[in-house]
Amino acid sequence: MPTDSKRVPGPTETQPPFLYQKKNEKAETILVNSDGNRHDGRKPAEMRPIFLKAGVISQARGSAYIEQHNTKVICAVYGPHEYQRREGFSMKGKLRCEVKFATFSCRQRGSHQTDTREKEAALVIQQALEPAVCLHKFPKSQLDIFVTVLQNDGSALGAALTCASAAVADAGIEMYDLVIGCQMRQAGETMLLDPTVQEEYHSRLVKNAESNHGAVTVALLPSIDQVSALVQKGNLESDIALQVLKTCTEACQRIYPVVQQCLTKAVQSREKTMDTSETKT
């Protein structure tokens, strides 16, 4: 039987390698080693290094890309433009946010269809950005924000909040303040700032724990010290929840200069590009 020389011979079906890997749930429940450090060598209150760059998508009006070690998120902003007529009339602008986890972003391959996790993340980002954006500056218009998680190694929602805020600012949209996101995992008496995917809260891994086991995500406007969004999973006592909130806000204040420096570099780069084009003409 003749063979097709242009076709690569290979199996008709493939399976991901993680399917045959045994999952060690016991290792995931031990969050801090005997030396007081986490599995990646960080202290419980230590954050991962952050890389942030604005203006990475030339076709979008504003864009940003953020890395928190192996957590990678990119965001694009389009508009403002006139929204669809079927929506109600409003003299204030509207934000429409869409979050998508890439199919290859997690250990288990995701679906192309939008799931509940993505819808919830989009709603949180929209609610967090609405108090920060001057919506009255573009009446009867809509601003589209598209967030894509390229790789999820934990704290994806916190990184997406910071990335979306930087993209909106890069688009030249007037804002009262930037929005900085941060996540924390509470495991008994241990607080883990900026948790990885193995350190994130999973109810199925927590047994016989009625309280003080959960995760908190905070969106903060640092200049005016206002919390624009707060998401909590699990059960936390009131005093522990206040302590977690305080720690997250302090972490957001530390991230704030990084975003400011990123936007400053983006503006300087655009000015150099404009000066070069004017010189050539």
**What are the residue ranges spanned by the domains of the chain?**
39-273
Three state DSSP letters for 91-121: CCCEEEEEEEECCCCCCCCCCCCCCHHHHHH
The percentage of residues in the chain with a pLDDT greater than 70, rounded to a whole number, is: 84
pLDDT higher than 60, residue 208 = no
DSSP three-state, residue 234: strand
CA dihedral sign, ordered 114, 181, 161, 151:
negative
Q: Which of 33 and 168 is assigned the larger pLDDT? A: 168
pTM of the predicted structure, to 2 decimals? 0.87
Nearest residue to 162 via CA among 145, 179, 143, 175: 179
Confidence of residue 96 (pLDDT cuts 50, 70, 90): very high
Q: Residue 249 in contact with residue 220, Cβ under 8 Å?
A: yes
pLDDT in the model for residue 29: 61
Confidence of residue 30 (pLDDT cuts 50, 70, 90): confident
Indicate the CATH number for domain 39-273. Answer: 3.30.230.70
pLDDT higher than 70, residue 225 = yes
Q: What is the mean pLDDT of residues 72-83?
A: 92
pLDDT higher than 80, residue 125 = yes
Residue that the structure tokens 């799931």 belong to = 115
pLDDT higher than 60, residue 24 = no
CA dihedral sign, ordered 113, 115, 117, 120:
positive
Confidence of residue 86 (pLDDT cuts 50, 70, 90): low
pLDDT in the model for residue 267: 92
pLDDT higher than 70, residue 85 = no
pLDDT higher than 80, residue 210 = no
Confidence of residue 19 (pLDDT cuts 50, 70, 90): low
Return mean pLDDT, the chain. 87
Q: What is the mean pLDDT of residues 165-186?
A: 95
The CA-atom distances, in angstroms, between 153 and each of 73, 76, 229, 237 are: 11, 21, 22, 27
pLDDT in the model for residue 17: 64
Q: What is the mean pLDDT of residues 25-38?
A: 71
237-280: pLDDT as tens digits: 999 999 999 999 999 999 999 999 999 999 999 888 877 766 76
Confidence of residue 27 (pLDDT cuts 50, 70, 90): very low
